[in-house]
């Protein structure tokens, strides 16, 4: 008998007898416990995407010049590199910013080495350009902690500087940055009247300061046969020394700096504001410290260590007047999310064991429960070894897999239970029982893996985000099969009992099920017409279910919004708005937020960026430092203490605040933390064209259409508002006649309007040398006559006013010049809100009313006219569903090949795979019934269902085949197969559904749960009837 058993029976016989089996099981449990303790915890999976900003100055050049002479040649040079996803650039007056985005998965070190090599070769070819500044960006640049420091009495920058080193010293910390502090500097505000009386000008003072602050290691001299090192000169080391510095000698008397200037610590006017405001409270000045972690570190541990160090510092020497508020803690949120999901994983496991307890018995429940726990433990270890972290996606993969992982153990234990019911002893029952279902179980396991694993090859940002699901589930399935064929027989031998089972006659099925299927299937088996009628009915039903998406009863979306505890408000005022006006509007918006019950606090950032998330990393929010730009970081009450989700709060905030921003001439965007890969905006129209004029005109048309589209909000573009600027042109001929150089005039104007760094103060108590900045009084910016009366000294020592050789010309405000992948572009962005908050519907609604050439996948092929490329969430949605569709097709092909290999037939696999479309009859109505959007996670559930349903088909077909081979009449074999296999099929179906129930309340993975619950429920019932009938029809045709 043993010789006739297959591999499953032989493995079961070995596992049952071997003394190493329990040792291996214990070892697997220990590995799982170790993995649970050492695996880093994060809220979201790490997406390995490297971006680099290359900033190059071109002082004095207008935007057109920067575009043509700097940005375009540098883009073309970068385009030679391998592994580039996109190249973006923006050319503005005086500078260019080129952003290189590498493909997902390109190692950061490799990407940056190639980038710097390419940049070095470009510098050799263009030595006249200024030194580029390169800043690499990646997921580890997103702060995991935000600490907001407030006090009305203390110098917050000084406090933050003292905290920086102790926090940087914490293990795992990468960087500590301070947001909101004015740059450390010495302001020297010159007195024009005093300078005029002494016959001095601004340039002469600047030159004096630069020449005085000089030092060098000059060399050495010999003294008594020894070398004596000599340092020549010295630095300006104190503010007092700076005050007493001699800048000129007039009439034989030295003129010191303090005689012609007011010297203060700090700038003569604010360049940024940061405020903290509790609900219904007053605003307090603040600075925010952000902490990032090193790559591969556990966010939970790093955040906890930093806060522990902060507690120590507060207890020891931080002043009582200082308040430190934790405004971001991604370590805590990651730990909370992981702990909650682990709790759900435990409950899902208990529920599956309870299911076995009530259907098979308590001893069988112990066997199945032990197998499930061991499978989960070994899968956790395999996940850690693969390099995954404990995050929401990897843990959801385990929860949703519970029902699948338990299948093998349930099928094996149920069949052993059935054999014991025939009166066999454990020794007689276990190997044959395992061998009987072993072949189909092995095949069914690999069909599930074949359905899931191709999803691991989804490209783009979504690929690494979702990869833990197919990889963890596939590894878990393989491990569950090994455990079911080795450990489960050993457990059955030692836990189950020989006695206590009802003795049935042979393999006779339960009488009630037998009679039920007799009544349902006998008429269908005997009437071809009835079978055809049923088949056409199912086809019509499937088509009707697909129609639910067409009539928008089921809304399509990439991913729904998660329920977070923070929302960001992004304010853009007109480009000529002052910092003070921007700050005033931001404070008004923050005060209005008191009317939103879920809001507990706000942090206001004017003229500087708030702490970024991964979303802000891609959107380059960290560059928001202009006076007309501002952010508000909104902190919401904990999820447990509010009824509305963060997305509902965001929808309520928008109409409340938008009128305030619009009344001030600004544009307000409500930015939520994206549930998946971030994009520039949910709706993006890239407008291309042969000229700047045509691009701008087309962009205005797109802008107008989006504003008229129902549900579309936060419409904006990269076009700057109409305005004017002045060019103070130097009459070179006149300047030459007067004996002055253009450089003198440029320096004087720069100093008068924005200040000019001329030297530095090398104090011993500062981390860096402190710049010395020359200013004119701030009020001069509003007095044209005084600006024109500024003087420079000519070669004869005479003071020449600027008005003598400068002409003012008013021109339209320059538009920044944007490029994407070497083509000029204007971006129009928008969001979607309201009943249909999927950006896809707003995009297509607007696109249908725009009479311009449009492209949805690649850049337009039109070069001679304006054209649109739609991007944003649509692009990621298209790429993800395209790749998932391909993965689905590959999975079906692999399933077909596996089944052909097992059954040796080309027709039988088609029968086995026939119920896959039946899942739609459950999936689509389920989404419509619960009001759930059909998302990428819904698609994952649909793909997983292909493997699960095929597994059931295999068990049914294999039973019919064996029964017919044993001589049973075909119709009787078909009815008996449905009756006998109903229990294990229903058990595994309910187990999978129970696992899905525990993720039904998650905003993002809700679609996956809906697909599994409704898809399994409907398709399982239909499979029990349809598959035996189809297989019977196939056999009848063959005969």
| Confidence at 504, pLDDT banded by 50, 70, 90 | very low
| Confidence at 1039, pLDDT banded by 50, 70, 90 | low
Do 347 and 401 meet the contact criterion of CB atoms below 8 Å apart?
Answer: no
Average pLDDT over residues 564-578: 91
**In the predicted model, is pLDDT for residue 551 greater than 70?**
yes
Nearest in space to 87 (alpha carbons), one of 61, 111, 52:
52
| Rounded distance between C-alpha atoms, residue 1005 and residue 401, angstroms | 13
Whether the predicted model's global pTM rises above the 0.95 cut: no
What are the pLDDT digits (tens) for 799-831?
Answer: 888 888 888 888 888 889 999 999 999 999 999
pLDDT at 629: 94
pLDDT at 500: 47
| Confidence at 676, pLDDT banded by 50, 70, 90 | low
| Rounded distance between C-alpha atoms, residue 62 and residue 44, angstroms | 43
| Rounded distance between C-alpha atoms, residue 748 and residue 751, angstroms | 5
| Rounded distance between C-alpha atoms, residue 360 and residue 7, angstroms | 26
Average pLDDT over residues 586-591: 95
What are the pLDDT digits (tens) for 407-462?
Answer: 778 778 877 877 777 777 777 778 888 888 888 888 888 888 898 889 888 877 77
Q: What is the CATH architecture of 510-553+905-1039?
A: Up-down Bundle (1.20)
Strands (DSSP E) along 886-983, which ranges?
none
DSSP string, 641-673: G-SS-HHHHHHHHHHHHHHHHHHTT-EEEEEPP
What are the pLDDT digits (tens) for 308-341?
Answer: 999 999 988 889 899 999 999 998 888 888 888 8
| Rounded distance between C-alpha atoms, residue 477 and residue 480, angstroms | 5
| 50-137 fold | Alpha-Beta Plaits (3.30.70)
pLDDT at 138: 82
Share of the chain above pLDDT 90, in %: 34
CATH class in words for 1-38+362-501: mainly alpha
**In the predicted model, is pLDDT for residue 11 greater than 80?**
yes
| 186-212+233-265+724-812 fold | 3.30.2090
Determine the 3-state secondary structure of 281 from DSSP: coil
Angle (CA) 963-967-524 rounded to 5° is: 65
- Asked whether the domain spanning 186-212+233-265+724-812 has the same topology as the one spanning 1-38+362-501, the reply is no
Domain ranges of the chain: 1-38+362-501, 50-137, 186-212+233-265+724-812, 510-553+905-1039
**In the predicted model, is pLDDT for residue 509 greater than 60?**
no
HSE-CB for 570 with a 13 A CA cutoff? 22
| Confidence at 267, pLDDT banded by 50, 70, 90 | low
123-to-52, 59, 68, 132 alpha-carbon distances in Å: 17, 17, 17, 9
What are the pLDDT digits (tens) for 269-290?
Answer: 788 999 999 998 889 999 999 9
Determine the 3-state secondary structure of 217 from DSSP: strand
Average pLDDT over residues 281-301: 90
Strand partners, 725: 811
What are the pLDDT digits (tens) for 887-932?
Answer: 889 989 998 998 898 888 888 888 888 888 989 999 999 999 998 8
**In the predicted model, is pLDDT for residue 78 greater than 80?**
yes
CA terminus-to-terminus distance, the chain:
32
**In the predicted model, is pLDDT for residue 257 greater than 90?**
no
How many residues are there in the chain?
A: 1039
Share of the chain above pLDDT 70, in %: 97
Average pLDDT over residues 522-542: 87
User: Mean pLDDT in the chain?
Assistant: 87
18, burial (CB in 10 Å: exposed 0-12, middle 13-18, buried 19+)? middle
539-to-512, 529, 623, 739 alpha-carbon distances in Å: 30, 15, 55, 92
Do 416 and 403 meet the contact criterion of CB atoms below 8 Å apart?
Answer: no
- Residue 934 has what DSSP assignment? B
pLDDT at 657: 95
Do 933 and 485 meet the contact criterion of CB atoms below 8 Å apart?
Answer: no
pLDDT at 498: 65
**In the predicted model, is pLDDT for residue 501 greater than 50?**
no
**In the predicted model, is pLDDT for residue 635 greater than 90?**
yes
What are the pLDDT digits (tens) for 139-195?
Answer: 888 899 999 999 988 888 889 988 999 999 999 999 999 999 888 888 888 888 888
Identify the weakest region by mean pLDDT among 293-297, 599-603, 722-726: 722-726
pLDDT at 405: 76
What are the pLDDT digits (tens) for 836-877?
Answer: 778 999 999 999 999 999 999 999 999 999 999 999 999 988
Determine the 3-state secondary structure of 149 from DSSP: strand
Nearest in space to 569 (alpha carbons), one of 585, 551, 549:
585
Strands (DSSP E) along 74-213, which ranges?
84-92, 95-102, 133-137, 145-150, 173-179, 186-190
| Confidence at 502, pLDDT banded by 50, 70, 90 | very low
């Amino acid at each position: 008998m043993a010789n006739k058993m297959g591999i499953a029976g032989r493995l079961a016989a070995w596992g049952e007898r071997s003394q190493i089996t329990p040792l291996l099981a214990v070892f697997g449990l220990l590995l799982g416990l170790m993995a649970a303790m050492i695996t880093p915890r994060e809220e979201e999976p790490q997406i390995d995407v490297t971006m680099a900003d290359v900033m190059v100055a071109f002082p004095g050049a207008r935007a057109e010049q920067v575009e043509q002479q700097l940005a375009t040649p540098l883009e073309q040079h970068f385009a030679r590199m391998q592994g580039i996803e996109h190249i973006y650039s923006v050319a503005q007056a005086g500078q260019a910013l080129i952003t290189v985005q590498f493909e997902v998965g390109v190692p950061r070190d490799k990407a940056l080495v190639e980038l710097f090599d390419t940049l070095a070769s470009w510098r050799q070819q263009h030595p006249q350009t200024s030194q580029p500044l390169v800043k690499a960006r990646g997921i580890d640049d997103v702060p995991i902690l935000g600490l907001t420091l407030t006090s009305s009495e203390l110098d917050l920058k000084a406090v933050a500087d003292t905290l920086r080193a102790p926090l940087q010293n914490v293990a795992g910390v990468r960087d500590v940055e301070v947001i909101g502090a004015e740059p450390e500097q010495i302001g020297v505000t010159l007195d024009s009247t005093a300078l005029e009386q002494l016959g001095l000008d601004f340039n002469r003072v600047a030159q004096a300061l630069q020449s005085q602050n000089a030092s060098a290691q000059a060399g050495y001299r010999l003294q008594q046969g020894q070398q004596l090192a000599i340092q020549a000169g010295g630095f300006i080391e104190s503010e007092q020394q700076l005050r007493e510095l001699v800048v000129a000698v007039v009439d034989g008397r030295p003129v010191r700096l303090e005689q012609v200037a007011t010297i203060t610590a700090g700038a003569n006017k604010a360049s940024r504001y940061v405020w903290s405001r509790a609900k219904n409270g007053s605003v307090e000045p603040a600075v925010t410290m952000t902490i990032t972690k090193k790559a591969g570190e556990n966010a939970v541990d790093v955040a906890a260590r930093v806060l522990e160090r902060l507690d120590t510092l507060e207890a020891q020497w931080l002043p009582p007047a200082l308040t430190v508020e934790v405004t971001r803690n991604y370590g805590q949120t990651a730990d909370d999310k992981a702990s909650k999901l682990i709790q759900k994983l435990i409950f899902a496991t208990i529920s599956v064991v309870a299911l076995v307890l009530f259907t098979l018995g308590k001893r069988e429940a112990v066997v199945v429960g032990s197998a499930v726990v061991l499978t989960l433990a070994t899968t956790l270890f395999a996940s850690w070894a693969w390099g995954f972290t404990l995050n929401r996606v990897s843990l959801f993969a385990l929860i949703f897999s519970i029902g699948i992982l338990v299948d093998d153990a349930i099928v094996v234990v149920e069949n052993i239970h059935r054999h014991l019911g025939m009166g066999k002893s454990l020794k007689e029952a276990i190997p044959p029982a395992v061998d009987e279902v072993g072949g189909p179980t092995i095949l069914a396991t690999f069909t599930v893996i074949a359905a899931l694993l191709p999803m691991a090859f989804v490209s783009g940002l979504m690929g690494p985000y979702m990869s833990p699901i197919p990889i963890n589930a596939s590894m878990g399935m393989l491990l569950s099969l090994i455990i079911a064929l080795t450990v489960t027989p050993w457990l059955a031998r030692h836990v189950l009992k020989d006695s206590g089972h009802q003795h049935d006659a042979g393999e006779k099925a339960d009488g009630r099920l037998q009679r039920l299927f007799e009544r349902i299937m006998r008429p269908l088996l005997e009437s071809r017409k009835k079978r055809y009628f049923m088949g056409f009915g199912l086809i019509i039903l499937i088509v009707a279910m697909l129609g639910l998406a067409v009539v928008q009863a089921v809304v399509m979306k990439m991913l729904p919004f998660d329920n977070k505890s923070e929302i960001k408000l992004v304010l853009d005022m007109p480009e000529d708005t002052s910092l003070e006006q921007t700050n005033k509007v931001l404070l008004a918006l923050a005060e209005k937020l008191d009317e939103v019950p879920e809001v507990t606090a706000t942090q206001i950032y004017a003229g500087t960026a708030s702490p970024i998330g991964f979303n802000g990393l891609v959107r380059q929010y960290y560059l928001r430092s202009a006076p007309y730009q501002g952010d508000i970081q909104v902190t919401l009450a904990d999820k447990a203490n509010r009824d509305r989700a963060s997305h509902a709060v965001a929808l309520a905030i928008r109409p409340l605040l938008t009128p305030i921003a619009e009344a001030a001439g600004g544009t307000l965007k409500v930015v939520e933390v994206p549930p998946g890969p971030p994009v520039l905006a949910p709706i993006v129209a890239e407008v291309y064209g042969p000229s700047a004029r045509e691009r701008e005109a087309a962009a205005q048309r797109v802008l107008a259409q989006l504003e008229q589209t129902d549900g579309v909000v936060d419409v904006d573009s990269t076009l700057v508002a109409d305005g004017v600027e002045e060019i103070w042109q130097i009459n070179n001929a006149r300047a030459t006649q007067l004996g002055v150089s253009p450089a003198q005039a440029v320096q004087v104007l720069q100093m008068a309007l924005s200040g000019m760094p001329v030297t530095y103060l090398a104090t011993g108590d500062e981390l860096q040398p402190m710049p010395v900045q020359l200013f004119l009084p701030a009020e001069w910016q509003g007095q044209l006559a005084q600006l024109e009366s500024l003087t420079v000294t000519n070669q004869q020592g005479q003071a020449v006013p600027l008005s003598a050789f400068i002409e003012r010309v008013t021109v339209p405000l320059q538009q920044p010049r944007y490029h994407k992948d070497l083509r000029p572009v204007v971006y129009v962005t928008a969001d979607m809100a309201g009943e249909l908050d999927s950006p896809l519907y707003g995009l297509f609604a607007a696109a249908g009313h725009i009479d311009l050439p449009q492209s949805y996948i690649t850049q337009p092929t039109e070069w001679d006219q304006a054209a649109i490329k739609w991007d944003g969430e649509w692009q990621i949605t298209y790429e993800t569903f395209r790749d998932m569709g391909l993965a689905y097709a590959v999975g079906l092909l692999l399933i077909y090949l596996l089944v052909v290999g097992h059954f040796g037939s080309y027709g039988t696999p088609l029968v086995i795979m026939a119920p896959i479309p039946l899942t739609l009859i459950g999936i689509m109505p389920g989404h419509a019934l619960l009001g759930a959007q059909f998302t990428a996670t819904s698609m994952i559930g649909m793909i997983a269902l292909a493997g699960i349903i095929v597994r059931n088909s295999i068990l049914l077909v294999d039973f019919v085949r064996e029964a017919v081979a044993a001589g049973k009449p075909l119709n009787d074999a078909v009815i008996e197969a449905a009756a006998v296999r109903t229990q294990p099929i229903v058990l595994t179906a309910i187990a999978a559904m129970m696992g899905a129930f525990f993720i039904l309340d998650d905003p993002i993975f809700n679609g996956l749960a809906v697909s599994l619950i409704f898809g399994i429920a409907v398709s399982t019932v239909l499979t029990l009837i349809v598959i035996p009938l189809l297989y019977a029809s196939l056999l009848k045709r063959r005969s």
